[in-house]
Amino acid sequence: MTGEDFLAAVIAPIGNGFEFINAKDLLRLADRGGSTGRRRYQGSSFTFRNVVDAVADGVGAGLLEEDRALPGSRGRQSRFRATPLLSGRMKDVNPRFQPHECIWLRDDHHKLIDYAETGHTRRLRKEVDAINAEMNSVVVELSGPGVDKVGRNWVVGGTQVIPTPPRVHRVFNRGSLAKGGRLYGWWQGLRSRYRAGMTINGEAILEPDFAQLHAQIIYAQRKIPLIGDAYETGDFPRSYGKLAFNVALNAKNHRSANSALSKHLKIDGQTASKLLDAIIAKHKAVADVFCSDAGVTLMRIDSDITLRAIGDCQSCGLPVLPVHDSLIAQARHAERVAEIMVKAFASRFPYAGTCPVRTKSKSVPQMEENDTRLHAA
């Protein structure tokens, strides 16, 4: 981790704003134990001592204002914010924080952990590095209701976003490179209504997305056609069926799925059980996949398909940004991007039926006008 990276990560989040940041949020940057796992992702500069000293130096130089909590205070923390001096100096500074590692591995508790270097991990890293190299020349801007500019930063819905070149990292889960694997970038933290106001290289965007992707993958694996809408049960609203389908895919057992549905939909346990039974009955040909913790493995497959689609788009000179099962694209190229996404799925499952890709106004390859859903899967 270079000194510039360290400055960007510690100072940039508060340098252009006037809101206080709690000390614990700054200290989350620190590697208290000097663990090898953290060093893989952050380098060796982010020690607890370095973070504390950097903040103390900022206070001493009049760059940070400290609101110190008294010893023994309960429910209150020391916090810091930029002084006008720091904000003024940061207006002409554009620090960029670049993570050391683009292949992330988390354990069962979502904690980053180290992993052995193999030919496989090097190939995974090479794929993501190639995507990032193409993205580096992409210019992303934000505008619209709820988006303001403070210094060089955007304030989106009250939250500061530091404008940096698009960059992704790939996150694997459960301590296994066979689980998870989706790509993540800063734009995914924006609500869809704010993403709609993005531009790519000065052009308006659309967001083609795979329709019911996990359902399509499950049926394609079995070489069974998926007929009709995967989320329609006939007895419950489609939105309930969609939630039930996805909860059941990710649940480890029927009981936890039932509890999650009851909580999310605010319905009693008996109704939740009927909903769960209805979605499983609809998909009786693949019923064994439900309540078996299959979701994290399906993510590995959908992430491979997405990487293929991104690579093919970039080879055609089409800049795109991934959002799990969708790609943000320039509006004038959205139909072409959707076609590439369809082909990416077909390349993984050549003997399966077509997985439709929808945009705001139409669907590929089955044309469905006036489809306003941006996230159908």
Do the beta carbons of residue 86 and residue 15 sit within 8 Å? yes
Residue 105, Ramachandran bin (φ over 0: left; ψ between -120 and 50: alpha; else beta): beta
**Residue 152 confidence (pLDDT):** 72
pLDDT digits (tens, 9 = 90+) for 189-236: 898 889 999 999 999 999 999 999 999 999 999 999 999 999 999 999
Average of per-residue pLDDT values in the chain = 84
Segment 249-278, tens digit of pLDDT: 999 999 999 999 999 999 999 999 999 999
Cα separation, 155 vs 149, whole angstroms:
6
Structure tokens, 353: 């039926």
**Burial call 121-140: b when 16+ CB within 10 Å, e when fewer:** eeebbebbeebbebbeeeeb
Spacing of C-alpha 51 from chain mean position: 27
Question: Are the CB atoms for 279 and 233 separated by under 8 Å?
Answer: yes
State yes or no: pLDDT of 34 exceeds 70: no
Using CA atoms, how far apart are residues 47 and 44, in angstroms rounded to an integer?
7
Domains in the chain (CATH in brackets) are 1-100 (1.10.10), 101-230+283-377 (no CATH)
C-beta separation of 205 from 327 below 8 A: no
- CA-to-CA distance for 94 and 12, rounded, in angstroms? 8
Is pLDDT of 145 > 70?
Answer: yes
pLDDT for res 63: 82
pTM to 2 decimals? 0.80
Q: Which phi-psi region, left, alpha or beta, contains residue 98 (left: φ > 0; alpha: ψ -120 to 50)? A: beta
- The CA dihedral of 246, 121, 100, 170, to the nearest 10 degrees, is -20
Kindly list the distances between the CA atom of residue 211 and the CA atoms of 2, 98, 102, 358, 373, in Å, as whole numbers in the listed order: 42, 33, 28, 6, 10
Tell me, what's the pLDDT at 19?
A: 55
| End-to-end Cα distance, the chain | 38
